[in-house]
Structures are given as structure tokens and as C-alpha cells.
Amino acid sequence: MTLFTGSGVAIVTPFKENFDVDYAKLQQLLDFHLQKGTDAIIIVGTTGEASTMTNEEQAETVKFTADYINGRLPVIAGAGSNDTRHGVELSKMCEDAGADGLLQVTPYYNKTSQRGLIEHFKRIAESVNVPMLLYNVPGRTGMGIDPKTLLELSKIDNIIGMKDATGDLSYAAKVRNLVGYDFDIYSGNDDVTIPLMSLGAKGVISVIANIFPQKIHNMTKLFLDGEIEKAAKLQTDLKELNDALFVEPNPIPVKAAMNLLGYEVGGLRLPLFEASEDTKDNLKKVLGVK
């Protein structure tokens, strides 16, 4: 099965002044994405600051989102951990909260072997019934998933694909060659969405879609409809914004950009800290905000 095709937003988690989750604002953001063509909601992932949320907060945020979306879009919950037992517990909680699928990052800090990766993801997959996407982001976790490891993991029924944030098109080609086209790939980097789709990716799990969901939806749809040059033009037109949104660790710049544009999504939980004045000035220039 395929969870979605096109543009999935890696949605921010809006916070109140006291840093509790702002559910009223989250509802507004969900309405925005429903109106602007977003194809899936990826909740409490990296961009959603899951690392500083408790299990209960993550599950509650997933439940709120799943209940409000009510089947209109797929809701995919970040449920990864570097502790397999914790990953099992959190995954069950997110499934019970109504998630249509789970996003599972590779273990970080206490990095494991490729064999350990197989056992880690297998144990979590066996504990739930919903489909899972693996999340390969070695720049954050310090380890990647070998194509041969993906081949083994793809044999598990509910491990159906991967968010590829390696930025390495050669890696994606190796995965396609070895694992085949029944295993779904999504770009985890906005700046290589169309190149990765040329290798068979189903779409993108996008940070930029927090700001311009219609553009990212249109870009992926144009490619899927065979309008390759138009899709590529949209991809290159977003290059300056993409660079501005990743000059500091995500989601620092995207939350700053959203607040500059009047979305009022609040601040960041420590250790993430507000964007520098240089970053804000650059975002104002790129976004055309005074």
C-alpha cells in the first residue's frame, strides 16, 4: 500500500507562551493545509519538535490531529526512538491515537549496526498494525540505512517505504536498483524533491509546505502529470527560500518565517532557540516581508 502521493507537510507544533501545545492554532494550520492541497500531515516529527515532547503530549497531539482531520488526509505520526522498548510503546500510543501510519527514525547517539537496525525496526513493526515509513537522516542521527538493510526490512509487511533525507541521489538509485519500485520513497529534503521523484519517489515530506503548501502540492502534481519542465521550474524557483530555511537547524528558521508571515505559531522549546537577527533579516528579504 501507499500512504500518500504528492506533498506531505512536516508540520510544526505551535506552542503557547507557556510552551504548552496550542491546539486552537494547530486546528487553524490543519484547516490551512486542507484548503491548500496538502496531501498528508506528518505530525510530531523533527519539524514538530517531538524530541522535547513527552509520550503523552505526542499521543495527544496525534489524537487531536487525527480526530480533526477525520480521514480527509492521511495522518502520519513521528514515533521513532533510540530505545527500542520506548519506540514500541510510543508507536502503540500513536496507533491508538488514530495515526494512519508511523515515521520511524534510525536510532541516534547510541548508534547500532545494520543488523541492529533490522532488529530494531522489526520489533517496532511487529508491535503495530499500521504501515511504517523508515526515516534515513544520517546528518542528524550519525548513521544511515544501507540499501541491503532496506532490502531485508522491505520484506516486513508493514514497512512500506522510507523518507530519504540523505540528499544523495546515488544512494536513492542504489535503493531503487536493489529494493525495487514496490518500496515507496519520499524526499526528506525540499531541494531535491523533483530529482528524487525522477528516480521514482512518490513525493516529499516537506518543511516549505508549512509556508507554501499549494506550491509544493502543485510542484509534485505537475511532475506526476508529466509536466516535468514546469515542475523543475517550481523546484528551482524555491532554491533561495530553501537555503534560507536551513541556514540554522530545522525548525528554527521555518518557525521564524511563519511568525514573520503572521501565522503566530509561537516559540521553540529549548535547547532549540529563536533564529538569529541575521537569519530573520534574510527571511524577510526572501519572503518580501518588511
Question: Which amino acid does the sequence have at 154?
Answer: S
- Phi and psi dihedrals of 9, rounded to 5? -90, 130
Consult the annotation and say whether 47 binds a ligand: yes
Give me the catalytic one of 163, 202, 215, 255.
163
- Closest by Cα among 71, 90, 68, 70 to 79: 90
Instruction: Report the relative pairing of strands 184-187 and 203-206 from DSSP bridges.
Output: parallel
Question: Which amino acid does the sequence have at 116?
Answer: G
Strand ranges inside 19-165, DSSP E? 40-43, 75-78, 101-105, 132-136, 159-164
Helix, strand, coil shares, percent, the chain, to 5:
50, 15, 40
- Closest by Cα among 247, 188, 238 to 216: 238
- Closest by Cα among 239, 188, 269 to 21: 269
Cβ neighbours, 10 Å, residue 155: 10
- Phi and psi dihedrals of 158, rounded to 5? -100, 10
Consult the annotation and say whether 2 binds a ligand: no
Give me the catalytic one of 25, 63, 135, 215.
135
Give, in degrees to the nearest 5, the angle at Cα 248 between 32 and 199. Answer: 65
- 68 in catalytic set: no
**Cis check: omega of the bond before 138, within 30 degrees of 0:** no
- 92 in catalytic set: no
> First vs last Cα of the chain: how many Å apart?
46
Question: Is-contact 60 21, C-beta < 8 A?
Answer: yes
Kindly list the catalytic residues.
Answer: 135, 163
Numbered residues of the known binding site for pyruvate: 47, 205
